[in-house]
Each structure stands twice: as C-alpha cells, then as structure tokens.
Structure 1
Amino acid sequence: MSHPHSNIRGSLFMVVGMASFTMNDAITKAVSSEMNFGQVMLVRGLFATLLIAAFAYHRGALRSPRTSMMMPVALRVAAEVGGTIAFLTAIVNLPLANTAAIFQALPLAVTLGAALAFREPVGWRRWLAIMAGFVGVLIIVRPGLEGFNEYSLFALGSVFFFAVRDLATRPIPAHIPSLFITLVTTVAVTAVGGIILLPLGGWTPPSGRALGLLALAAVLVLVGYQYVIMALRAGDLSAVAPFRYTALLWAMLLGYLVFGDRPDRFMLLGATFIVLSGLYAFYRERKLASLRPAATASAVPPEGV
C-alpha cells in the first residue's frame, strides 16, 4: 500500500491526465467547424505520430512493422480506428458532456466483455452495477423519446469499439512495448483519416489557428498518457482510478465555457447512474482482488482520441 501522500499525488496526476484528454476532445470539436473530422484525424495524427515516434525511439520501444500483424495487435488497432471514427462523429454533433458521460460506461462494458469473452467470474452485485450503468446510458440517449439524438448511438458505438480494443490488449505479449502499440495505432488512425477525408468533403486549407490547435491537441494526448501512467505508478490503483471520472467534470466545464452547453436533467441523471455504478463495480473488483493473494491489476492506461 502506498503512502497517503503518494495517493494524493497520484490522484492529482490522474486529474491532470483526464483534463488533458478532455481538452484534446474540446479542441477537436472546436476545429471541426473549419474542417471535417477526417482531416482532423489526419492533421492531428501527423503531429502525434512525430511526437510518439520520437518518444518511442528515445525509449528504445521501436519494433519491426511485422509485429503489428499479430492478431491481437491488429484487432486492437482496428477497434481503435472504429472507435475513433465513432467518437469523433459524436463529439462533432453532440454536447461535449453528453459524449463524455456515455463514454464513462466503458469500464462497465469492459467488465461485461471480459465475462463473456474470457469467462471471468462476475458476481450478481457487479451484474447489477453493469445493468444500472447501461440504464444511465439509456437515460442520456433517450431512444424513441423527444430529445433523442441519433448521434448518441455513435457515442455508444465508440464504447463498444473501445471495449473490444481494451479486451484485445490482454493477449498481446508483454515483450511488445506499450509505446510501440500506441505508435502503430496512431499511424493507422492517421492513415484512415486521410482515406475518409474525401468522402467527408475533401481537404480544406487549414488556418494557422487550426494547425496550432491540432498541434496542441497532439501534445495534450501525449501529456495525458504520461500523467495517467505516472498516476498509476504513484498511488494505489484503488485510490487513483476513480479519479478517471473527473473527465466528466472537465467535459461539463469546457462544454459550458467554450461551447455554451448546459447539461439537461436527463444527462445529469444518466451520468450519475453511470458514475455511481462504475465506482461500485470498481469497489467490488478491488474487494475481491484483495481476497486473492496472487491477484494483479492492469496498469494499462486508456487511449485518448
């Protein structure tokens, strides 16, 4: 168990990491008024590829391109591409906080996927938590009711793709560095952005402001990765991980300050269901893990999009 000061430091690192990822999302939404999101994926991806490649080279994490052809790596990359397209479609067309709230269901979706794909034991309490979390998603999406926005389905689709991505990470051999996987993923997302750019309206000459913002977004993604890693290494997972949900608070704040979005009561109620059920499911997992002497916890940070 870590020292209390280490847990405080780790929690602050996690808050900074979530703020970095959310600011990246806000920038993406802001520049989408000037260019389509395929171009955003391409331009932001070029900046990110240069940064991550330099970092991976510095850390000795580069590997043969053939490594990316391994089935788990290829599946993870494909799921990341699908999730990025779905998430950016939602970000562009929905309030930032709504997309962020639906995205908070990802840990519950991963728990559900692990139970179905890997036959991991999930007790009735966590099943109830998963059900409550998806009730929260339905409250936000409001299918068939007034206020329903079809782009909410893209946010939900991104949760599915990213759950597949996280589940595909498990079989990847430990000798393949995380930075290399991140680099391969970034290159793939960038390339797909270039491919879908034309169907989405073609190339628009970007302004200096847009280029600067997308360069900043690439830096923020890298900062987010590093702070999440530092958070998980500085403190106990049980103390640090719940601060992932501060991403929702950042999204609400930035959505209001930058875009003038005001969350409605359905979004707030649904988000409450999702966050509380996620926290409870996490609490149950940690409690059960403490009863298993050989239990280990994953410290793989989520991707930023």
Structure 2
Amino acid sequence: MSAEALPAPQNLKAAGLAALGFAVFSGTDATVKLMAQDLSVPQVTFMVTGMALVLTVFFTLVTGDADALRPRQPGLATLRGLLLGADTLLIYYAFTRLDLAEAYLLAFLAPALTALLALILLGERVSTRGWLGISLGFCGVLVALRPGVAAINLGHAAAIGSALLFALSLILLRRIKVGESDAALITVLLLVLNVITLGLTLFGGGFEPATPQHFGLAALSALLMVLGHLFLIRAGRNGAAAIVAPFQYSQIIWACLLGLLVFNTPIEARVLVGAGIIILSGWMVLKQGDTP
C-alpha cells in the first residue's frame, strides 16, 4: 500500500507514534552510552534486554493475555528479531567508537534506505514531496552535526550497517503486521538479543562487576526500550514505511537535549537551525499524500 492510499488520520497517528518512539529510543541510547563507559557492549545489551524481557512478559501476563506472547509467524518474527538484534549491537558498538552525534548522522541514512527498499520490495510509491522531505531531513542532519573529515574506522561501518538493518526491519514489519501481537514481536526480539549477547559476553571473557548504578540504568533503559519498540510497532501498523522512517531524524533534537543534560554538551546555533530543517522535512513527508 502506498502512503497516498492511507487515510490522512492514519498517517497522522503513525507519525505521532513514530516521533514518540524515536524520542524514547534516544533515552535508551543515552543510558546505554553511560553504561558502556564501564562495561562491555554485549554485557550492557544483555542486562538491558534481560530486564526488558522480564517487563514485557510480566505486563503481558498481568493483562491476562499470555497467548499474545506466542508468535503466529515465528519464522518472520525471528527474522525481524535477528535484524533488529544485529542493528542494536552495531549501533551500540558505534556509540563506543564515535561521538553520539556522528553515530546518529550515519544511522540517519535509514529513512532514505527505507524509502528505497519500500519502493523496490513493497511497491510503495513515494511522491516528489516525500523524496524532497527525506532529502531535506538529511541536509538538516548535515547542518546540525557539520561532520568533519575523519579516518574511517569500524564504528563508521557499524553505524552504516545498523541503518541498513533497521531499514530492512521496517520493511519486514509491513509484511508481518497482520495477526501478530505487539508482545510477540517484542518478546522474540528480546529473546534473540539475550541469547546472542550472552554468548558474546561469555566468549569475550565473562561478566564484569556491575554496580547498583549500572543496574538502575539498565532498568531504566529496559523500560524505555520496551516502550520504544511498542510505539514503533504501532506506527508501522498504522502507516506506510516511508511515513514512519523519516521521523528518525527527530532523534537529533533529543540528542541535543540529552547531550546537554547528561553529557554536558552545549547546544550550538547550527544545531537548532538543523533541527528546524528536520522538523520541516518530517512535515513534508507526512503531507506527501496531498500532492501527486
């Protein structure tokens, strides 16, 4: 289904959920970056996803819908879990090798990749205004971050790989949205991540000592992770992939705020200008159905 074929209120709901989901994910990224200063990325991911899994199962059982934890399409749900699991590990690794802003810049390739893959794999038509909005959003990121020339390292490759895997996961979500519960999609993802990161942690020398502060950050990150995935799944159910993906650009706004509050990074005027361009780009993509 093309973005134009969806009712305007449905696109508006998808846009709101996507913006909220990406805002929550920014909080997860900040807490993970804090924990990764002391602990390995696999151990941090294992702690966060383990707690997130417990939260998901607990709340699902409390609602009395235990059957919702079982995926109806286990193969597709597992494939999505593998894509997002690898995406999560790659971007968390990128955070340890790059500045948060630089990692975000490369991860922001995902909307353009999603629109292209949606055109090729799903036949979702993107209007001229939609393509202009996507391009404008990326220009806004360049204005905000003003990336300098730096030597390429594995962090750059990890961030680009994360963008591609995330785009593929959004495309796949459009194929498995019918008949699959939110709880099942989140549970499968967390199980996959938990198993992978447990193996990587043990293979890398075992667990390092964690403090109560680490566990507190992990619990907060777990809650934000579950909420973020829930919002994003709901957004994918209500809108076309080309509508949902560009709102990833809004993370730069939250990155600025969290950078100021958590990492004491000042907000520069160019970042505010870039943020304004990003907001405009999101509006253009949202309104793409209004013009051919």
Q: TM-score range, shorter-chain basis?
A: 0.7 to 0.9
CA RMSD, aligned part only?
A: 4.0
Aligned to 1:121: 125
- Deviations 1:186-205 (Å, cap 9, x if unpaired)? 11111111111145453202
**Which deviates further from its counterpart, 222-231 or 99-108?**
222-231
Contact 1:98 1:267 in 2 (8 A): no
Equivalent runs, 1:281-292 vs 2, <5 Å: 281-284=285-288, 286-287=289-290
Mapping for residues 215-254 of structure 1, pairs under 5 Å: 215-225=219-229, 245-254=249-258
Distance, in Å, in 2 between the alignment partners of 1:56 and 1:95 is 37
2 CA distance for matches of 1:147 and 1:102? 13
Aligned to 2:83: 79
User: Partner amino acid for 2:257?
Assistant: L
Q: 2:178 aligns with which of 174, 178, 188?
A: 174
Q: Do the aligned residues in 1 keep the contact of 2:36 with 2:96 (CA within 8 Å)? A: yes
Amino acid across the alignment from 1:103 = A
8 A contact 1:132–1:277 mirrored in 2:
yes
Q: 1:19 to 1:167 in 2, by over 3 A?
A: closer
- 2:81 and 2:188 in contact (8 A); partners too: yes
Q: Go from structure 1 to structure 2 and tell me whether the alpha carbon gap of 1:264 and 1:154 turns closer, same or farther (over 3 Å shift).
A: farther
Whichever residue aligns with residue 51 of structure 1, its letter is L
Count of equivalent residues: 275
Offset from partner CA, 1:92-143 (integer Å, 9 cap, x none) = 222223333443443332211100112222344434444555566778696x
**8 Å CA contact 1:37, 1:88 repeated in 2:** yes
Residue from 88, 93, 96 that aligns with 1:89 = 93
Corresponding residue of 2:150? 147
Determine the C-alpha separation between the residues in 2 that align with 1:91 and 1:130: 24
Is the Cα contact below 8 Å between 1:18 and 1:247 reproduced in 2?
A: yes
Are 1:190 and 2:190 an aligned pair?
no
Asked whether the equivalents of residues 84 and 158 of structure 1 are also in contact (C-alpha less than 8 Å), the reply is yes
Q: Deviations over 1:234-290 (max 9, x none)?
A: xxxxxx998765432221121233223457899788777666544423321x425xx
Instruction: Quote how far apart the aligned CAs of 1:67 are.
Output: 4.2
- Structure 2 gap ranges (5+): 1-6, 238-243
One-letter code of the match for 1:249? I
Supply the distance in 2 between the matched residues of 1:227 and 1:282 (Cα, whole angstroms). Answer: 17
Matched, 1:204 2:208: yes
CA distance in 2, matches of 1:54, 1:173: 23
Give aligned-pair identity as a percent. Answer: 27
Q: Mark the CA change 1:31 to 1:192 in structure 2 (over 3 Å): closer, same or farther.
A: same
Question: 1:16–1:167: structure 2 CA closer, same or farther, 3 Å change rule?
Answer: closer
Structure 2 distance, partners of 1:157, 1:141, is 21
Q: Residues 136 and 273 of structure 1 are in contact (CA less than 8 Å); yes or no, is this contact kept in structure 2? A: yes
Structure with the bigger percentage of helix:
2
CA 1:148 to 1:130, structure 2 compared with 1: closer, same or farther past 3 Å?
farther
Q: What's the secondary structure of 1:90's corresponding residue? A: helix
Q: CA deviation at 1:81?
A: 1.4
Q: Is the 8 A contact 1:232 1:241 kept in 2?
A: no
Alpha-carbon distance change, 210 to 191 in structure 1, aligned in 2, over 3 angstroms? same
Match of 2:3 in 1: none
Relative to 1, partners in 2 of residues 1:42 and 1:224: Cα closer, same or farther, differing over 3 Å?
Answer: same
- Would the aligned equivalents of 2:27 and 2:221 in 1 still touch at CA under 8 Å? yes
